[in-house]
Amino acid sequence: MTAKPVHFHTLAVCAYLGLFALLMLWNTVLAPNTTFPVALILLVTVTPLLLPLRGFLNRNARSCSWMAYISLAYFIHGSVEAYANDLERLLPSLEVVFSLLLFFGANFFVRYSRK
């Protein structure tokens, strides 16, 4: 059985949607920050995910590889936040899981879609 790039792209898109929803909910509903404006935090955290979105959804290999690179920043943020914050580890752990799924899904899509 051979690996189909469509399945990896579907995995990456699902992980993207999960990461996007998690970041939106985390910063607005679940644990909003009291020191910085919510709009500024959303601008800083969500904007990098929106930059290669059009090509990512159109299965452009270059945009998918950029999405994989961008997901590594969310992996680092989630890892540091889970280590530093003893009281709340569920949300950063979900961020780590979604960013890893996005990274591997996008990377395997690029790898197996090349001819």
pLDDT at residue 33, as a whole number: 83
108 has pLDDT over 80: yes
50 has pLDDT over 90: yes
Helix (H, G, I), strand (E, B), or coil: what is residue 10? helix
- Calculate the average pLDDT of the chain: 93
Q: Are 13 and 71 in contact (CB under 8 A)?
A: no
For the stretch 52-68, pLDDT in tens is 999 999 999 999 999 99
Helix (H, G, I), strand (E, B), or coil: what is residue 88? coil
CA distances from 51 to 7, 58, 96 (A): 23, 13, 20
Measured N-to-C along each axis, helices 38-50 and 61-84 cross at an angle, to the nearest 10 degrees, of 140
